[in-house]
Every structure is written in structure tokens, then in C-alpha cells.
């Protein structure tokens, strides 16, 4: 009898733990409507092509970028870019060419350790417009100079 109770506990603990994982949601990225953003070519840019946009265009880039970030990156990198420690705080990325280079590397390659996917390859799910709008939004909340 006692033994069974112990097992019940174990099952409950396992159920709670897997619920915790499920609560983070599926890792499948959400598609982003980028039809209102300046069009980019198929080739990957080497620097953020949206960085110097001004006025309404910039506003639209930031609007899409913030929402795309919250849908696709926030569950690991934190809401509003404030990392809870699961993944790096992206407000710390350099806002210049060096940051762009590292950003491109990561969104193209994701992060795999010992065969486990820590971050999916984002370029397989999001287009260049979506990813640069996210980058532009991240620069706008950056903690770097
Ligand atoms: C499933 C979790 C997950 C999701 C979703 C995710 N990432 Fe990541 N990301 C990580 C982890 C973990 C690392 C750290 C990898 C390492 O250092 O090995 C990382 C690293 C990065 C880095 C490098 C940061 C640094 O300081 O080294 C960038 C840039 C990045 N992610 C961008 C993004 C963007 C943009 C999105 C959304 C389009 C995204 N990530 C979605 C888990 C995730």
C-alpha cells in the first residue's frame, strides 16, 4: 500500500514536470507577415539593411520586429528581450557590424549541443525581412552603446 502511494507521487511529479515543459509551447516558429516591410533580395545581407530606415517605415519595422520576436524568440530569450537565464539576453548584442555577423551566424545555424537542439535554425522558418526586423527591434531596446 505504502509502495503504491510512493509510485503515485512519482507519477504526479513526472506529470507536473512534463506539464512545465509543455507550457513553454511547441518549438515550431510562427510565420510572420512581412508584406508591409521593404522587400529584400533572396541573398543574405551582411549588415542590417533596416538600420537606417526612418519615419513610418522604421515604425513599421519595429512593430513587426517586436511581435515576431515575442512569437518566435521570447520563450527562450525572454519577453521584451529580458532573458530569464535560459538563453542569452539579446539586448547585450553589439548594435554594429560585429553584432550583425554573430546574429546572422546564430539565426542561420541555431545552436546544437551534443545532438540536442537548443535553438532551431531560424532561417528555415522565418524570412530575411522578419529576421532583420527582429534585429532592428533588438537594437532599439539594446543595452549597448
Ligand atoms: C528553443 C529556444 C530558443 C529559441 C526559440 C530561440 N533561441 Fe536564440 N539561443 C538559444 C540558446 C540556448 C542560445 C545560446 C546558444 C549557445 O551559446 O550555445 C541562443 C543564442 C542566440 C544568439 C547568440 C547570442 C549570444 O549572445 O551569443 C542569437 C543572436 C539568438 N539566439 C537569436 C535568436 C532569435 C533572433 C530568435 C528568434 C527568431 C531565437 N534566438 C530563438 C535558444 C533559443
What is the arithmetic mean of pLDDT over 115-126? 94
pLDDT at 104: 97
Domains and CATH numbers, the chain: 2-140 (1.10.760.10)
- The answer to whether 142 and 135 have CB atoms below 8 angstroms apart is no
Give yes or no for residue 72 CB within 6 A of ligand 1: yes
In the reported structure, the alpha carbon of residue 1 is separated from the centroid of ligand 1 by a whole-number distance in angstroms of: 48
- The answer to whether 132 and 57 have CB atoms below 8 angstroms apart is no
Measured at the CA of 123, the angle between CA 103 and CA 64, to 5 degrees, comes to: 75
Nearest-angstrom CA–CA distance, 27 and 120? 8
Round the average pLDDT of the chain to a whole number and report it: 85
Looking from the CA of residue 134, the nearest atom of ligand 1 is: 35
- Count of other CB atoms within 10 angstroms of residue 83: 17
Q: What is the pLDDT of residues 10-22, one digit of tens each?
A: 444 344 334 334 4
- The answer to whether 116 and 56 have CB atoms below 8 angstroms apart is no
Q: What is the pLDDT of residues 59-78, one digit of tens each?
A: 999 999 999 999 999 999 99
Give yes or no for residue 88 CB within 6 A of ligand 1: yes
C-alpha cell at 125: 522558418
Amino acid at each position: 500500500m505504502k509502495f503504491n502511494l510512493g509510485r503515485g507521487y512519482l507519477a504526479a511529479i513526472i506529470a507536473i514536470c512534463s506539464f512545465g515543459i509543455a507550457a513553454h509551447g511547441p518549438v515550431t516558429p510562427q510565420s510572420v507577415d512581412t508584406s508591409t516591410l521593404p522587400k529584400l533580395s533572396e541573398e543574405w545581407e551582411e549588415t542590417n539593411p533596416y538600420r537606417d530606415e526612418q519615419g513610418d517605415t522604421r515604425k513599421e519595422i519595429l512593430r513587426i520586429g517586436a511581435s515576431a520576436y515575442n512569437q518566435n524568440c521570447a520563450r527562450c530569450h525572454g519577453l521584451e528581450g529580458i532573458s530569464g537565464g535560459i538563453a542569452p539576453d539579446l539586448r547585450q548584442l553589439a548594435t554594429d557590424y560585429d553584432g550583425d555577423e554573430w546574429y546572422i551566424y546564430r539565426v542561420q545555424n541555431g545552436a546544437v549541443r551534443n545532438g540536442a537542439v537548443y535553438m532551431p535554425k531560424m532561417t528555415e522558418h522565418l524570412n530575411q525581412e522578419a529576421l532583420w526586423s527582429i534585429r532592428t527591434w533588438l537594437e532599439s531596446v539594446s543595452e549597448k552603446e
